[in-house]
Amino acid sequence: MNEQIRGRAGGSRRRRPDGCERALSEAYDTALLDLDGVVYAGGHAIEHAVESLTVARDGGMHLAYVTNNASRTPEAVAAQLSGFGLPTGPADVITSAQAVARLIAEQVPSGARVLAIGGEGLRVALRERGLAPVASADDDPAAVVQGYDPTLDWERLAEAAYAVQRGVPWFASNTDLTIPKERGIAPGNGALVEVVRIAAGGTPQVAGKPQPPMHRETVLRTGAERPLVIGDRLDTDIEGAYNGGVDSLLVLTGVTTAAELLAAPPQHRPTYVDADLRGVLEPQPDVVPVDGGFRCGGWRAETAGDVLVLDGDGTPLDGLRALCAAAWTAAGEGRCGADGGKALGRIGM
């Protein structure tokens, strides 16, 4: 990866969100976009997503869609995005199914049988790597792999458990415990992996975000030189960017709350924070140390004991950015600074 971008990612040193003088779509050549909770929720595009990404693409930014959801093929995902008004080809979609299929292919013989517990996207990815998906633990599989599938039933989970109990190498596309849907937050693939673990014991090899196999798959398929990871989850999207040494933008349209962001450990702290994908089209404000606290826009945040204090006025997001700096710095200095309930209430979060 580009060394300048790697240095900006900040690693364990990050104690406040970064500023950027240019629009992010101009500062980075490729957006590595999560889908669920960022571009869409279930079958509906998230507000401002299509318009913002269209402007970014027309301005020269390459859009690549990187998803831990292994249930659908890249062709199906591309068709859905195109239906939202975002013309997308299958090559622009990178899935955890592709990442886990490559991981398995590196460890079993070509043509090996793989017990596939998941959707069509998982089976297609396995076939692309020269592997043969099978449906039963009695088919003598060389590996068993789990990927998200909303139609999965007890019998399929039981087959995975039988195979794992017999010592068959176990893989998972990802371990996201939840997934955003139109009606709320639903169980994700990680919840189904836990079902098998409870029955059979053991721990699978995981390919999806935030693990390195997913980052490697993304780099191989996009060729990005100045990538920006954009996601809604701290423990997958943002940690994946941290592990890959690249910058990240957290958007607050999915599962992460402002309180969770304030309490984030170093590997979960994004480079930038914004409300939604309109942030890609805008510069990011500086968060400046001042008088024992931090200022962003019209807001000033500091810690008083184990309480976060916020004063000022202005854009709520600037208040959140200032609070992040105060909370993350306090955590790095061994002070708590985690109780930001009243401070978040001041900015309506």
Q: Which residues are catalytic?
A: 34, 36
Whole-number Å distance between alpha carbons of 225 and 29: 7
- Tokens in use for 228? 């920006």
β pairing state of 132-134 and 62-67: unpaired
Structure-derived torsion over alpha carbons of residues 312, 322, 233, 223, reported in degrees to the nearest 10: 130
- Burial code (b: 16+ CB inside 10 Å, e: under 16) for 253-268 equals bbbbebeebbbbebbb
Residue in the structure block whose two tokens are 């003088």? 21
- Tokens in use for 242? 């941290």
Residue 315: how many other CB atoms lie within 10 Å:
15
Alpha helices in the chain (DSSP H): 3-8, 24-27, 49-58, 74-83, 96-105, 120-128, 154-165, 189-200, 212-222, 239-244, 258-262, 316-332, 341-346
